[in-house]
């Protein structure tokens, strides 16, 4: 049976969709059949980041309303035959999401896919609640800012109390901390919280740190998950995160300021 991963946060703009695309692609590239679902009904950004927006015919709400089959709505990624995308609707209201409909879809997907990655909207509205409710694992994405960390702490309370696992008195959702848009130089200047500060507040296992990087925006604009940009620090960070999630031991990178020698200082090498 497949495992359901929710990518969540309390605050918008922290990089959930970037993370969902990167994690899903990373898992698929490792040989695991993976599907990534956009739960942000009314906005729909995942298909843009995945570069398949022109191929959307049916969506999540069409499947819930039985206006299409699940197979009709799934889009196979052109770069990796182990990866599929289930887009959100751009024209429907979030109220069109139903718990029964989502449960039916997830149960179907769990029979076919090893990993089901749920790209959750920010906050605690309908789409976010349903994305979290059925989760086995939660990647809590936060920026190193007080407001973002505080909102993430609130999400942890919801994950612990309002999930199907909690209601059924089962093993809790496994929670992982993913720190995005991190800048060691800004931490040093006191403009950002450090990794230690965030961990102290949230008391979570650190899955990885994704540095502030122009590569993320460049990849999104091209419709390419940034993990495919293997030369970029952000792409390498997401590759590390996927590897750690799958049980591989990898040293944490991008936490400390890079020390450059004389050559690096002169030429400002990237």
218, pLDDT greater than 90: yes
Q: Above 60 in pLDDT, residue 270?
A: no
Which residues contact residue 115 at a Cβ distance below 8 angstroms, ignoring those fewer than 6 apart? 2, 3, 5, 24, 27, 32, 33, 34, 35
The answer, yes or no, to whether residue 261 has pLDDT greater than 70, is no
The average pLDDT across 206-225 equals 95
Q: Tell me the backbone φ, ψ of residue 3, rounded to 5 degrees.
A: -110, 135
Supply the pLDDT for residue 93. 66
> What is the sign, positive or negative, of the torsion defined by CA atoms of 210, 215, 221, 224?
negative
pLDDT of residue 268: 47
Residue 26 has pLDDT above 70, yes or no: yes
Query: What spatial distance separates the first Cα and last Cα of the chain, rounded to whole Å?
Result: 43
Phi, psi at residue 176, to the nearest 5°?
Answer: -130, 140
13 band by pLDDT with thresholds 50, 70 and 90? confident
Confidence at 49, pLDDT banded by 50, 70, 90: very high
The CA distance from 116 to 104, in Å, is 14
The whole-number pLDDT of residue 266 equals: 52
Asked whether the predicted pLDDT for residue 147 surpasses 70, the reply is yes
Single pTM value for the model: 0.92
CB atoms within 10 A of CB 122: 19
Alpha-carbon distances, residue 206 vs 129, 178, 252 (angstroms): 23, 6, 9
Per-residue pLDDT reduced to its tens digit, 80-95: 999 999 999 887 766 7
Count the neighbouring beta carbons within 10 Å of the beta carbon of residue 207: 21
- Tell me the per-residue pLDDT of 185-211, one tens digit each, with 9 for 90 and over: 999 999 999 999 999 999 988 999 999
Q: Is the pLDDT of residue 175 over 70?
A: yes
pLDDT above 70 coverage of the chain, percent: 94
Query: What average pLDDT does the chain have?
Result: 92
The alpha carbon of 47 is separated from its chain's Cα centroid by a whole number of angstroms, namely 14
Asked if 10 contacts 98 with a C-beta cutoff of 8 angstroms, the reply is no
Region 144-164 average pLDDT? 92
For residue 263, what pLDDT is reported?
A: 52
């Amino acid at each position: 049976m497949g495992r359901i991963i929710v990518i969540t946060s309390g605050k918008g703009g922290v990089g959930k969709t970037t993370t969902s695309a990167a994690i899903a692609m990373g898992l698929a590239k490792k040989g695991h059949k993976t599907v990534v679902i956009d739960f942000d009904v009314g906005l729909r950004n995942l298909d843009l980041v995945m570069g398949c927006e022109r191929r959307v015919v049916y969506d999540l709400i069409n499947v819930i309303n039985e206006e299409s089959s699940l197979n009709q709505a799934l889009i196979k990624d052109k770069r990796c035959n182990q990866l599929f995308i289930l887009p959100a609707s751009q024209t429907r209201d979030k109220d069109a999401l139903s718990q029964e409909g989502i449960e039916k879809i997830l149960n179907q997907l769990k029979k076919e896919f090893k990993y089901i990655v749920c790209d959750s909207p920010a906050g605690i509205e309908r789409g976010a609640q349903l994305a979290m409710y059925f989760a086995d694992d939660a990647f809590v994405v936060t920026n190193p800012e007080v407001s973002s960390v505080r909102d993430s702490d609130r999400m942890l309370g919801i994950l612990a109390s309002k999930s199907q696992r909690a209601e059924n008195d089962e093993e809790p959702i496994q929670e992982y901390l993913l720190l995005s848009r991190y800048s060691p130089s800004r931490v040093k200047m006191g403009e950002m919280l450090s990794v230690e500060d965030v961990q102290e507040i949230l008391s979570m296992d650190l899955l990885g740190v994704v540095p502030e990087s122009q590569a993320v925006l460049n990849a999104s604009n091209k419709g390419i998950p940034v993990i495919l940009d293997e030369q970029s620090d952000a792409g390498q960070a997401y590759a590390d995160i996927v590897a750690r999630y799958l049980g591989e031991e990898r040293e944490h990178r991008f936490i400390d300021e890079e020390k450059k020698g004389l050559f690096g200082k002169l030429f400002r090498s990237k």
